[in-house]
Chains A and B, each alone.
Chain A
Amino acid sequence: MKVDPADDLGHHSRRSRVIWYPGSTPAYSSLWITIQRFLILNQPSRAAFAGDFLQDNISSRKGPSAHYPSSHPQNDSQIAWGQRTVRLKRFARALNEPVETFRCCHVGQFPELARPYFGEFAVCPHCLGEGFHSVLYSFEGLRDCPVHGTALESPTLLRQLSIELFNTALRNPFGRGQYLQDLLGFPAARTPIAHPQRDLVLGEIAYWLMDVGARCWLGQHGARQAMPLDAFTNRLAGLRVALNLPDHPHYRPNAHDSLAGDSTFQEIATLGSVKVCSNDLVGIDDRRARRHQTDLNLYGKTIFGDFKAIRRYLQRNALNRTGRYWLTRLAQTTNTEGVGALLGQGGAPARRAWLLLAWSRLIIKQEFNPKTGLHTRPIQFAVSADIPLWIANLGRRQLPDDHDFVRLWIARWISAAGLMAFWRSVGSIAEQDISPDVAVLDIALLEVHREPLWSLGITVSNELTLFLDPGSATADRK
């Protein structure tokens, strides 16, 4: 006997469904083409689609129209072109597709540094007929379709397509265009044709563009215009050689992989980028350099923010659910007997949680002490007098929020790398079979605090670069 009808029976389902073919979205598909396929298959009204998948425009929540997203053509264009106004997670859930399907699906997902190199909305007419389009077709370095070899078309470069397609796409990206529907047809809208060769080419371009933003490339600040793509590419190649970086970056979605010790150069976290105008490069004996002041308060706040971010990350990724449970209980315990009892009960997950807690407390106690913290240590640029010193915002009128971001950036990297290296050494303690008698870990166990090996290099074109080698620690201290 049944007391609950099978919820997968159509009209008893509590969840309404949409028309989609999970797994049918080719890699590097643009959000625009995915939405267009969705609109063709499902035929929702504009309001229904907006209600389901578009974010409300917060700034316009004043009148009756506040419940609807802005329909201004320019906004729509921005949405298609990279503004995060589509609820991607919800959209992915409705389509029963993994969120990773929507990686590289609009310009906004690419690093800011690379965005100037995205030009007009461009399409390959043949790919479009097969149900595919990629935002990478707008990348300046790609002129022809990697599969069909045809020239990519844009509003200013029309060959086979009508301007109607581009007008509709740019003015009304969430509206179903009849021209596109006729071009695609329902079979292509259901399941676009896949081309592994295309995926390979677009994958390389996407990796390259992502890599550009994943590192701190210097010397772009203040540029009125983006430098030509060729020059930009050459410059990146030069910096890559100077930094001894591999040609193909490896993405490590698994946090535990990135926690593993590695003696080669590696990035631990992307903390943003700093861009410096070439005018800010001054001689080491320049009076403007001596005049420069460092705001230690800002340093402390920023680095403490980084520490909290790293701690959150470790709590979520280095500890499992059980570990987080023990972390909460251990954090509330105020006496050593209580801690000992909890460690005895919790076993390995509790020990790991305790080490994370000890790591966190030690960092707060030692590193954020105003007298001895990392941010207060002088960072010496060991460069010769012949090479210009690089300090930001010199020679200008001092503003309240004007700070030495370059030095701060270096300090943040070193701080983050040091914190992670320290955690790795602590983590290795957790992996050892420590006797339960050592319930309350003495702080002495955590004495080995390693800072990463770091150095500043300079290229022949006077570009300052930062090297980090967190795996080969040299500076031990108590």
Chain B
Amino acid sequence: MRSNLPNHLDPSHPVLKQEYAVFTPPVHAMAQTIGDWIDQRQPGGYIHGPSRFGKSRGVKWHMKSILEERFGKRIPLHIWTRPPDSHVSESDFWVSIGLAVGFRYAPTRATRGDRRRSLMEFLIATASACQSNFVALLVDEAQAMTFREWNWLLGLQNAMDWEGYRISVFSIASHQMDYTYELLGKSDHAHVAARFLVAHWPFPGISSVDEIEFVLKGYDAASEWPAQSGTSYLAHFAPDAYARGARLAPCAGVLWRALESLLPAHYKGDAEFPMQHIARAIEEVLVDAARGEHWEAATSESKWIDALAQTQFTDHMQLISAAVQRKRSAKPH
């Protein structure tokens, strides 16, 4: 909710509601990786990266369409965002997944065996609807998955295998997953790690000026609201400047410099930036432009720095730096 918005802005615009997703090169790379795993019929795999890099949004908004484009047909892909308490009971675990995949009778009173059976039937039905014997389950927020949950999923995978259907479980998680693999391997759950966590891929942040420019071009041209209107986000927020030919893409270098300048002192990680902070900064610039601020002033380096600073960008990078340092020191020499 923003105050004092100019009249020409529609409050239901997705940028103001923050209900949109920017297609970024890392999202594309993640989709390609998952597509490769599906091609290889990997039983599982995990994608890890710092939070706020855009993994979940990429999965939620783009994954299915990219994969369907790649495979040229419908893909039985289900996404489950793991709730914090799903490990409490097996029944609740199946109900949670059943609700996530859209099964009508997931919350119906039943035994845990019946619930697992129903979920399995549902997954089989979705596979059959796509003329396939394969289903993919994407588990978001998988960093907190417990051994019990992994074992339940293992049971489901085995049961489906018995019926002639394959399910791959791809996990999306933040940094902790780095250690879960080793933890599972060193405990009595190596079989779980071997099944679900062997294939892995680190999700990168925005890591170059070119990628920033790609993102900004999304606001300039590769976006549209309302649908079929031909009006890009920038054109909606700053119609006059847009008509004069002003675009965000030329600001890529400036924004990159602003990002680098706000990195904490002694930052240990690579120059990879979280997409969420970049998006919030762009939204701020768009709103300022909409309020009538001169285009050059609204997109000056100081403005970008101010906008990024409002998102607590430096604090967040400090956390990432600490996690990177911890990870490096944990690795054996």
Would you give the 0/1 interface string for A46-59, flagging 1 where the beta carbon is closer than 8 Å to chain B? 00100010000000
Cα-based distance from A13 to B100 in the complex (angstroms): 9
In the complex, the chain A residue whose C-beta lies closest to that of B120 is A186
Q: Is A1's CB within 8 Å of the partner chain B?
A: yes
In the complex, B42 has a CB within 8 A of chain A: no
Interface pair B60/A12, CB less than 8 Å apart: yes
Given A1-B22, A2-B20, A3-B227, answer yes or no on A42-B105 (Cβ-Cβ < 8 Å). Answer: yes
State whether A3 and B19 are in contact (beta carbons under 8 Å apart), knowing that A19-B103, A42-B118, A43-B118 are contacts in the complex.
yes
A6 at the interface (CB under 8 A from B): yes
- The complex places the Cα of A43 from the Cα of B120 at a distance, in Å, of 12
Contact indicator B121/A41 (Cβ below 8 Å): yes
Contact residues in A for B219 (Cβ distance below 8 Å): 1
Confirm or deny: A106 has a beta carbon within 8 angstroms of a beta carbon on chain B. no
Q: A21 — which chain B residues lie within 8 A by C-beta?
A: 125, 128-129
Given A3-B19, A3-B227, are A42 and B80 also a contact pair (CB < 8 Å)? no
Q: Shortest beta-carbon distance, A175 to chain B, in Å?
A: 14
Contacts of B118 in A (CB 8 A): 19, 41-43
For B179, the chain A residues whose CB sits under 8 A away are none
Measured between C-beta atoms, what is the minimum distance from A6 to chain B in Å?
Answer: 5
Q: Which of B23, B80, B118 has the most CB of A within 10 A?
A: B118
- Contact A3/B225 with A10-B100, A11-B79 known, Cβ cut-off 8 Å: yes
The answer to the question of A16 belonging to the interface, with a C-beta cut-off of 8 Å to chain B, is yes
Residues of chain A contacted by B117 (CB below 8 angstroms): 43
Name the distance in Å between B195's Cβ and chain A's nearest Cβ: 22
Chain B CB within 8 A of A196 CB: no
Q: Give the distance to chain B from A203, nearest Cβ to Cβ, in Å.
A: 27
* B124 interface contact, C-beta 8 A: yes
Q: Taking the nearest CB of chain B, how far is it from the CB of A250, in angstroms?
A: 35
The reply to whether A11 and B104 form a contact with Cβ atoms under 8 Å apart is: no
Question: Is there contact, CB below 8 Å, between A44 and B60?
Answer: no
Chain B residues positioned under 8 Å from A63 (CB to CB):
none
In the assembled complex, the CB of B185 is this many whole angstroms from the nearest CB of chain A, namely 31
Say yes or no: B104 contacts A42, CB within 8 Å. Answer: yes
Q: Which of B65-90 contact A (CB under 8 A)?
A: 65, 74, 77-81
**Number of contact residues on A: which range applies?**
20 to 34
In the complex, which of the residues B14, B102, B109, B129 contacts A45, with contact meaning CB atoms closer than 8 Å? Answer: B109
Bound CA–CA A45/B124 (angstroms): 21
CB distance from B236 to the nearest CB of A (A): 12
A19-B122, A21-B125, A42-B118 known; A8+B20 contact, CB < 8 A: no
Q: How far is the CA of A190 from the CA of B127 in the complex (A)?
A: 13
Contact B23–A8 (Cβ < 8 Å): no
Chain A 9-32: CB-based contact to B (< 8 A → 1; otherwise 0): 111110111111110000000000
User: B62 contacts A19, CB within 8 Å?
Assistant: no
For chain B, residues 220 to 249, give those with C-beta under 8 angstroms from any C-beta of chain A: 222-225, 227, 233
Q: Which A residues are in CB contact (< 8 Å) with B61?
A: 2, 5-6
- Give A450 Cβ to nearest chain B Cβ, in Å: 53
Closest approach, in angstroms, between the C-beta of B250 and any C-beta of chain A? 19
- B interface size (C-beta, 8 A): 45
B150 to chain A, nearest CB (A): 20
B105 touching A44, Cβ below 8 Å: yes
**Are A2 and B227 CB-contacts (below 8 A) given A10-B100, A16-B102, A43-B108?**
no
Q: Which of chain B's residues have a CB closer than 8 A to the CB of A44?
A: 104-105, 108
A186 to B121, CA, bound (A): 9
B233 touches A11 (CB 8 A): no
By beta carbon, the residue of chain A nearest B101 is A10
Q: Are A9 and B108 in contact (CB under 8 A)?
A: no
- A11 contacts B100, CB within 8 Å? yes
User: Complex formed: what's the CA distance from A1 to B65 in Å?
Assistant: 12
Cβ of B238 to closest chain A Cβ, rounded Å = 17
B105 touches A9 (CB 8 A): no
What 0/1 readout, one digit per residue, does chain B (116-137) give for beta carbons within 8 Å of chain A?
Answer: 0110011011001100000000
Closest to A52 in B: B104
Instruction: For B125, list chain A residues within 8 Å (CB).
Output: 19-21, 41, 190
> Chain A contacts of B223 at CB under 8 A?
1, 3
Chain A residues 456-473 with CB under 8 Å of chain B are: none
- Chain A residues within 8 Å of B22, by CB: 1
**Residue in A3, A13, A48, A186 whose CB lies within 8 Å of B108:** A48
Q: How far is the CB of A298 from chain B (nearest CB, A)?
A: 50
Query: Chain A residues with Cβ under 8 A from B103's Cβ?
Result: 16-19
**Cβ contact within 8 Å between A43 and B20:** no
Taking A1-B20, A3-B20, A42-B118 as contacts, is the C-beta distance between A11 and B105 under 8 angstroms? Answer: no
Q: Smallest CB-CB separation from A14: which chain B residue?
A: B102
Would B102 and A13 count as touching, CB distance under 8 A?
Answer: yes
Q: Inside 8 A of A2's CB, which chain B residues have their CB?
A: 20-21, 23, 61-62
Interface residues in B123-180 (C-beta closer than 8 Å to A): 124-125, 128-129, 163
Write out the residue numbers on chain A whose beta carbons fall within 8 Å of the beta carbon of B190: none
When the two chains form their complex, are residues A17 and B21 in contact, meaning their CB atoms are under 8 A apart? no
Bound complex: CA A8 to CA B126 (Å): 11
By the criterion CB–CB under 8 Å, are A6 and B65 in contact?
Answer: yes
Partner of A43, one of B99, B114, B124: B114
20 example contacts (A-B, Cβ-Cβ < 8 A) are as follows A1-B20, A1-B222, A2-B20, A2-B23, A3-B224, A5-B60, A5-B61, A6-B64, A8-B74, A9-B77, A12-B60, A13-B102, A16-B102, A17-B103, A19-B122, A22-B129, A43-B108, A48-B108, A186-B163, A190-B121
Interface residues of A (CB under 8 A from B): 1-6, 8-13, 15-22, 41-45, 48, 52, 94, 186, 190
Instruction: Name the 6 nearest CB pairs between A and B, nearest first.
Output: A10-B101, A1-B223, A11-B100, A16-B104, A10-B78, A3-B14
| Residues in B lying within 8 Å of A, measured CB to CB | 14, 19-23, 60-62, 64-65, 74, 77-81, 99-105, 108-110, 114, 117-118, 121-122, 124-125, 128-129, 163, 218-219, 222-225, 227, 233
Q: A1-B223, A10-B78, A17-B122 given. 7 additional CB < 8 A pairs?
A: A1-B22, A2-B20, A11-B102, A16-B102, A21-B125, A94-B104, A186-B163
